Amino acid sequence: MKPIHYNVPVPKDRTLFVQEDILERFYPHMHRHEEYQLIWIVEGTGQLLVEDSLHNFKKDDIFLLGSNQPHVFKNEQVGGFARSVSVFFNVKGRLAGMLDLPELGVLLDFISNNQRGFRVPNTYLSQVRRRIEILKKSDHMDQLINFFYLLKALNSVSSQLKPLSGASFVENEPTTTIRINKLCRYIDEHFKDNIALSEVAEQAHLTPQAFCRFFKKSTGKTFVSYLNDIRVREACRLLGTGTYDCISTVAYLCGFNSITNFNRVFRNVIGESPKEYVNKYITLLYQ
């Protein structure tokens, strides 16, 4: 299903927008918006569907959703209510000039490195909630200053953040980052093929053994684990569209050479079988 483009009602006299919602349920349609959204679930439980991944949420959870990242929150309880506080900001809008300042470059890097969103770790929820509360109560110049303090607090735990969808990388030296990004792009472009470790190692001009050490140190994942994540992510995307003949077709389209291997890898990555994922996805999307 193609996500709805949602226009966030940002006031013309604001650089960022803080919105509190108290509703019977969250906005029920898969949607996206240009603004990043930092959302604090004040009340409510359920599931968050974001791109190709499902996440449970509960009271006091905090998520960052990236710019134009498709998502939908679905309440678990019928007859309850949902309360949330969201901070919307657009790094390509009025904030662009300020984030280009050298002193704020680290915050711009933090945002750029987290375009696939994240869930704030439990041990830091109270700290981030306090910053959101301060931001919500402030206005004009104070609101902007407190927003930067909020980003600073999030950046301080950046090493512990995991993307809501897709693969993540550990921080590296600039030359290493360029090299590993080139290799990851190569894998992203050829994951549907029968891609071999030796083939990718050759792209890096390393022996397979040296490549394995380099890749694990740079990404935090083995080559096989990274490749499986990419293939399963694509499988989730295809399963979500409903435009396939059968699950085995999806498996082969994503580079798996057998349905048995696909089912095993899918369960290891997602935590459930492809069939279970499809049933949950459809139920969550259309309930």
Nearest alpha carbon to residue 5 among 30, 26, 27: 30
- The low-confidence residues of the chain, meaning pLDDT below 50, are 167-173
User: Is the CB of residue 136 less than 8 Å from the CB of residue 85?
Assistant: yes
Within 10 angstroms of residue 150's Cβ, the number of other Cβ atoms is 21
pLDDT score, position 81: 80
Q: What's the CA dihedral at 137, 143, 149, 153 to 10 degrees?
A: 50
Edge-to-edge strands of the sheet including 4-5? 4-5, 31-32, 71-75, 46-50, 53-57
3-state secondary structure of 57: strand
Q: CA-to-CA distance for 261 and 46, rounded, in angstroms? A: 31
Q: CA-to-CA distance for 132 and 154, rounded, in angstroms? A: 11
pLDDT score, position 176: 60
Q: Which fold has domain 4-160?
A: Jelly Rolls (2.60.120)
User: Is the CB of residue 27 less than 8 Å from the CB of residue 9?
Assistant: no
pTM of the model: 0.67
Residue identified by tokens 């600073």 is 152
pLDDT score, position 169: 44
Q: CA-to-CA distance for 277 and 101, rounded, in angstroms? A: 44
Partners of 36 in beta bridges: 89
pLDDT score, position 243: 75
- CATH 3.30.70.260 for domain 174-286, yes or no, is no
pLDDT score, position 78: 61
Q: Strands, E, within the chain: which ranges? A: 4-5, 16-23, 31-32, 36-43, 46-50, 53-57, 62-65, 71-75, 82-89, 118-119
3-state secondary structure of 175: helix
**pLDDT tens-digit series, residues 48-77:** 988 877 888 999 999 999 999 999 998 876
pLDDT score, position 252: 93
**Domain locations in the chain?**
4-160, 174-286
